[in-house]
Structure 1
Amino acid sequence: MLFYAVICLIYLGFLPAAHCPVYTASKHGVLGFTRSLAEASRLGNYGIRINALCPSFVNTAILDTINHEENLGNFYQFKDGVKNLIKVFGVLEPSVIADGFVQLLEDDSLNGAVMKITTTKGVHFENY
């Protein structure tokens, strides 16, 4: 039986983000963890595929958190930088993320893949 594990995270796994350094560091770690587990599964012939789904900003309630000082704490001073990032990367609809997720589930050749989804490039993969 083939099992699938897909780890979802935001695009901050690739970029520095002054407004949320701990969140960004955790996303960098998730990418390394995902790729390492996928390699272990391949080498051990476990039959499990592990991939990462990395969308840019998504049209969800979390986007509003940057407007509230209590959410960003000391990093609230960087909120304008976040708003500029949103302008640069745009905002995706959740249905676009769902389509990428389905692609990761259905393509049996993907293991250790890092799928990026942006408004400018759509679905594309990070090559290591």
Structure 2
Amino acid sequence: MYYLSVEHGGRGGCIVNVASMAGLNPNPFSPVYGCTKAGIIHATRCYAVSEAAKKSNIRLNVMCPAFVDTPMFRQMAAGDASQTIGGDQTAVNAFIERIGVLSTEDVSAALIDILTDETRNGLILRCAKKTGNVYSTLTVQDV
């Protein structure tokens, strides 16, 4: 944020952290992965409401794609369920089928949309093949 900050010669801008739908919804096959992605989502929420971001003219959002056709995904889908809880490849495949698989082009298009629309700030962009792209707010309650 320092280099984007208008206070330090920057023009402001947009930071998009990439997490995963696994950080929003229970994923019974990889809870540790989901926890790390939930941490990214929470950190983005914290920064999005910070005075530093507001003063610096910086927008912060988080993109949460579901399954994406990447080498890591293909390894899991091809039968290496050994890294999942329970190691049940049939259950893993049923889970994948239910949610669908995004292409890297789908994810790139969603990223361009959230980066270029200057009205988008403090949002979660949920990306899934079967439901499309859905924005939701990063609501924060006063304590």
TM class by shorter chain equals 0.7 to 0.9
Equivalent-residue separation in structure 1 for 2:51 and 2:75 (angstroms): 37
Cα contact 2:53–2:59 (8 A) shared by 1 = no
1:82 CA displacement: 2.3
Deviation digits for residues 18-50 of structure 1 (CA, Å, limit 9, x no counterpart)? 221111111112111111111115774221111
- Say which of 65, 71, 74 aligns to 1:64: 74
Cα contact 1:115–1:125 (8 A) shared by 2 = yes
1:97 CA displacement: 0.7
1:64 CA displacement: 2.7
- The 3 A distance-change label for structure 1 pair 119 and 38 is same
1:81 CA displacement: 2.7
* TM-score normalised to structure 1 length: 0.85
Task: Give SS of 2:98's match.
Answer: helix
Answer 1 or 2: higher relative contact order, Cα 8 Å, separation at least 6.
Answer: 1
Q: How many residue pairs were aligned?
A: 126
Structural RMSD (CA): 2.0
1:105 CA displacement: 0.8
Structure 2 stretches lacking a partner, 5+ long: 1-10
Residue 31 in 1 paired to residue 41 in 2? yes
What is the identity percentage for the equivalent residue pairs of Structure 1 and Structure 2?
A: 23
Structure 1 stretches lacking a partner, 5+ long: none
Which residue does 2:5 correspond to in 1? none
Which residue does 2:18 correspond to in 1? 8
AA of the residue aligned to 1:90: G
> Rg bigger for which structure?
2
Which residue does 1:98 correspond to in 2? 108
Cα contact 1:41–1:48 (8 A) shared by 2 = no
Equivalent-residue separation in structure 2 for 1:65 and 1:113 (angstroms): 31
